[in-house]
Structure 1
Amino acid sequence: MGSKKAYWFYQIAGWSIYFISDILNYFTLYPFGFDELNHLMGNVMVNVATGVSLTHIFRLIFKHYHWIKLPIGQLILRCLIVVFLITFILAAINIPMDRAFININSMNAALLDISYHINLTKPVFMWVLVYVFYSFANESRVKDIEKVKLESSVKESEAKVLRAQMNPHFVFNALNSIRALVLEEPNKAMNGITQLSNLLRSSLISNRKTTVSLKEELKTIEDYLSLEKIRYEERLQTKCDIAPQTLGIQVPPMMLQTLVENAIKHGVQKALRWGFIEIKTYIENGMLVIVIRNTGQLHAEKSLNESSGFGIENTKRRLQLLYGNDYQFKIFQEDKLTVRAEIHLPIENKVI
């Protein structure tokens, strides 16, 4: 049931239950015949229609003039005035209608008015109280939703900025490497241009996507490493050990490329003779585990700070934005000549 249908259902049902129960109280006090019962049922219909109409008008005024945003003192005062007015109108309708079967002429007029107002104030006051509390709860819920949307928008904007900052600088080295091949090895140069084009396309796509499949990300890594091999030739050795069941898992775009780029810059590039990069993926305890091992050293504080530079900190920030605290990322010295980076990501969904 939609909120609008639920509102009208509870409006009609609530007022009907109250006034029908009021009739049952009359039966305990006065003997009624069939004619009086018909008259009472007519009174119930009038009262239900009046109660629904008046409280609905209050609701329209409440929403139109944004009473929910008023200071609490002003809100309470206005609600009390509304309760009095609705009660007064209901009493003014009920007293004449009850003359038909209750001898109210012999009663004290002041006491009669007080009695009617007390009896009718209770349901009106409860209705207004419930509606005001519901409005406060709904307003709080709407604010929470808007806050979440705003935070999500800010995070997405920040993530786009971070992705944009990660990619471009390796392009210059790649272009220089390709230029050196144009005359001597034109076929390799053509392949290099294709691979660079693929990398640039991936970079553009990454600005429009929050995640991509690991398979797509590894294709980007393959193109990137092929370009770097033009520069380093036999100095760069690569190895991949990819579990097939991990290929469809979603990962942040260009994340691995950033880590591989960092490994080359701070590992292979500084190696005296040659260096290696190894990428391994598997699933452990319901998490995707990505391991990147490369030639390098982190034993000196200076080297550690350098290796944990912009690319690493940027990657950490992106993972925090996407996964909160549901991820693990660490980089450490595995042995004397090998640096190991490990990422543990939740398996949210897969690409079939």
Structure 2
Amino acid sequence: MDKNRLYWFFQVVGWTLYFCNEIFVYTIEYGYENQLILNAFANIVIAILLTHAFRFIVKKYNWISHPLSQLAIRVLVGIFVMTDILVALNLPLDAKYTGQLLTDTPILAIEYFINLAKPLLVWVLIYLFYHYSEEKGQKEIEGLKLKSSIKETESKILKAQMNPHFMFNALNSIRALVIEDPTKAQQGITQLSNILRSSLIADRRTTISLKEELRTIEDYLALEKVRYEERLQTKWVVDADTLGIQVPPMMLQTLVENAIKHGVQKAIGWGFIEINTSLVDNKLYIKIRNTGQLFSTESDSESGGFGLKNTAQRLDILYGNEASFKIYQENSLTVCAEITIPEKNNDYKNSTLANAELKG
């Protein structure tokens, strides 16, 4: 039953029950007559019309949005007017039963008014409470939709800001390969094609599996390995149970890119990058360790500073307090970035990436 039908059901049943009770009271007091049925029917129709008109006015002029004091005044005036109309109807209808009593004791008209005002007051309070709750719930739903829309937009903006810098570095790697080794350059183009495909998919998705993200990182590091040769050492320690967990696309790749630019590139002799994933208490833990000094990435003017803020923002947008990100100086030569993400949709297990250690 929809809300409109439910409203009319309670209108008809509620007022019918109330005035049936009035028939019972009058029958005990004065004896039963068919006129009591006609009187009750007239009261039911008028009560339904009056309260429906009141409902129409409340909704049309949005009384709920007014301050409580103004709402109270409007409600009291509305109840007064509706009661007066009911009294004007019932005085002639009930003249046979209470007319003489009211003539002898006119002050009893106040009690007559109060008795008819009571059910109207109850109806108004129930309706206003329901209407207020319904409007509040609707506003909360709209607020959640708006918040979700804003977060989705922010997430897309952050991804759009990240991709150009990533592509610039990847193209630089291939440019070096074209001159030095055409065969490897072809491999590099294939790897870049894979990265581009992942990037295009990422722009249409909020999250991807960790397995897909690690594949992109593998292709990226393969390109960078050609640039840095023996200066870049890589190590993978990946738990198979983590591969199906959803992560923000291109997020880890940004941190790896940051590690190379501010760590390996500036290292004397050689540098390393280690990627470690594990699953503990239904949470994904990711560690990216690399050669470097943390102060090199603290400036917002550098892409590293932006990349770190980008990571923190995206995690907050997608997971709120359930996720965390921190980066710190592990020792004098090593920087460690740690990410915690709640486990979701762990569909990919037992991958060949698991627990693999790659050293080049």
Cα distance change of structure 1 residues 334 and 55 upon mapping to structure 2, 3 Å threshold: same
**Contact 2:102/2:109 (8 A) holds in 1:** no
Give the TM-score, by structure 1 length. 0.86
Residue equivalent to 2:234: 238
Cα distance, 1:106 vs. partner? 5.8
Residue equivalent to 1:319: 315
Residue equivalent to 1:49: 45
Letter in 1 for 2:130: Y
Residue equivalent to 1:297: 293
**Contact 1:91/1:113 (8 A) holds in 2:** no
**Contact 1:250/1:351 (8 A) holds in 2:** no
Matched, 1:287 2:283: yes
Partners of 2:169 and 2:310 lie apart in 1 by 21
Which whole-Å deviations, capped at 9, do the CAs of 1:59-107 have from their partners, x for residues lacking one?
112212222334545433332232122222222333333346x263464
Residue equivalent to 2:82: 86
Q: Which has the higher contact order (CA 8 A, sep 6+)?
A: 2
Residue equivalent to 2:30: 30
Residue equivalent to 1:218: 214
Cα distance change of structure 1 residues 227 and 321 upon mapping to structure 2, 3 Å threshold: same
Cα distance change of structure 1 residues 103 and 138 upon mapping to structure 2, 3 Å threshold: closer
Q: Which aligned segments of 4 or more residues in structure 1 are displaced greater than 6 angstroms?
A: none
Which whole-Å deviations, capped at 9, do the CAs of 1:29-66 have from their partners, x for residues lacking one?
2333xxx2x54344333322322222112111221222
Matched, 1:20 2:32: no
Long gaps (5+) in structure 1: none
Matched, 1:145 2:141: yes
Residue equivalent to 1:174: 170
1:272 partner SS: coil
2:322 partner SS: coil
Letter in 2 for 1:305: E
Give the TM-score, by structure 2 length. 0.85
Partners of 2:297 and 2:178 lie apart in 1 by 38
Long gaps (5+) in structure 2: 349-360
Partners of 1:277 and 1:202 lie apart in 2 by 21
Partners of 1:52 and 1:292 lie apart in 2 by 70
Partners of 1:122 and 1:215 lie apart in 2 by 68
1:240 partner SS: strand
Number of residue pairs matched?
344
Partners of 2:344 and 2:52 lie apart in 1 by 46
Partners of 1:10 and 1:147 lie apart in 2 by 31
1:253 partner SS: coil
Partners of 1:164 and 1:259 lie apart in 2 by 16
Matched, 1:198 2:191: no
1:104 partner SS: helix
Which one of the candidate residues 86, 108, 117 is aligned to 2:103? 108
Partners of 2:65 and 2:6 lie apart in 1 by 25
Partners of 2:153 and 2:248 lie apart in 1 by 14
Cα distance, 1:111 vs. partner? 4.5
Partners of 1:287 and 1:324 lie apart in 2 by 14
Cα distance change of structure 1 residues 331 and 43 upon mapping to structure 2, 3 Å threshold: same
Which one of the candidate residues 59, 63, 69 is aligned to 2:65? 69
Partners of 1:69 and 1:171 lie apart in 2 by 52
